[in-house]
Amino acid sequence: MGWAGTRNGELLLRASSEFDALVTVDKNMAYQQNLASLPLAVVLLDASSIELRALLPLVPALEVALTSLVPCSFVKVGE
| Structural domain spans, the chain | 8-78
pLDDT digits (tens, 9 = 90+) for 16-35: 889 999 899 999 887 877 77
Q: How many residues does the chain have?
A: 79
Measured CA angle at 78 (ends 43, 34), to 5 deg: 30
The strand ranges marked E within the chain are: 21-24, 41-46, 74-78
Q: What is the pTM of this model?
A: 0.83
pLDDT digit string (tens) for 44-59?
999 999 999 999 999 9
40 residue type, one letter: L
